[in-house]
Amino acid sequence: MSLEKPTKIWWNGAVGDWQDAVVHVTAETAMRGVNVFEGVMAYKLDGRDEHAVIALDEHLERLARSAELLHLPMPYTPDELRQGVLDLIRAEPSDLDLYIRPTVYLDSGAYTADPSRMRMGAYITSYTRERAALRSVRLVSTPWTRVDDPAFPAQAKSGAVYSAFRLARMAAVRAGGDEPLLLNARGTVAETAGAAVMAVFADHVASPPPGDGALDSITRHVLTGLLERDFGLKVVQRSLRPEELHQADEVFLCGTLDEIVEVASFDGVDLGHAQESLARRLFERYRAVCTATGPAASPLQTRVAW
């Protein structure tokens, strides 16, 4: 993903120039990370001046739920933010896929739940992303655990949580890995620093439930439907002990930005993957759904012509 500054941004109701979207350094979103956000993928459709935004309504619904959990009044309706996403794509079209970040932030009024005393804002950014093949990562344990209920609402996707994820990722790199496995306070698997964990066993595919500290992943819901419908597999949400990852036939991660990522090893132990692993076949099926161009394309897609 390219983090170079785009030229356009949707900020507080309209598309404008990137450099004009500013908040003060003492704003609550800057000082305390008081914000909620979503990550949404828009895939460039082959042979068309068009993108397909994936699960846009579901992401905006989760954004509103995150704001509610943090007692942040939404400054714009989901329909207004939805239109903002479409307007931003049209304002800065690209021949690459896009990673889109709608964010709702608190400017002032940290210690009140009275909406009349809170100044809110919102912005939407869009970054280009080269389409890549299936990748694999080395998953490692770290001393850091997932910030979980009741310390912080686990289902709120907030910048504050990603400050903790940053520390876990740094620890993973120091340990010779690529991604950290985050456990909850009870010692069972929660997620990685931004992706859901799915483990494949002989008779089912398992993934930690939201009650174990895992964000209720939209991508995981999509993949669950594909696994059950197209692959005939049973998918369950249940607690996973970290040692079960060594016992699984294969392990993969999933999320909006990660899509599907194979876990090559866990804590230095090779997990092994067949050439035609389930993760690879699922990755190809998921990509096909996201980039379908036919008239009967996936209902997950919101088409944006530019």
Quick one: average pLDDT of 286-294? 94
Q: Residue 148: what pLDDT? A: 86
| pLDDT level of residue 215 (50, 70, 90 thresholds) | very high
Quick one: average pLDDT of 133-152? 94
List pLDDT tens digits, range 49-104. 999 999 999 999 999 999 999 999 999 999 999 999 999 999 999 999 999 999 99
| pLDDT level of residue 5 (50, 70, 90 thresholds) | confident
Quick one: average pLDDT of 32-39? 96
Average pLDDT, rounded, for the chain: 95
Q: Residue 107: what pLDDT? A: 97
Task: Write down the pTM of the prediction.
Answer: 0.94
Quick one: average pLDDT of 215-226? 97
List pLDDT tens digits, range 174-207. 999 999 999 999 999 999 999 999 999 999 999 9
| pLDDT level of residue 295 (50, 70, 90 thresholds) | confident
Whether the predicted pLDDT of 2 surpasses 70 = no
* Residue 134 · residue 260 · CB < 8 Å: yes
Which candidate, 287, 290, 223, 294, places its Cα nearest to that of 51? 290
Q: Where are the alpha helices (DSSP H) in the chain?
A: 28-31, 56-69, 78-91, 159-174, 218-230, 244-247, 278-290
List pLDDT tens digits, range 246-283. 999 999 999 999 999 999 999 999 997 666 899 999 99
Quick one: average pLDDT of 130-136? 95
Q: Residue 3: what pLDDT? A: 59
**3-state SS assignment for residue 221:** helix
Question: What separation in angstroms does the CA of 58 have from each of 39, 63, 64?
Answer: 11, 9, 10
Mark 79-91 as b/e (b = at least 16 C-beta within 10 Å).
Answer: eebbebbbebbeb
* Tokens at 230, concatenated: 């197209």
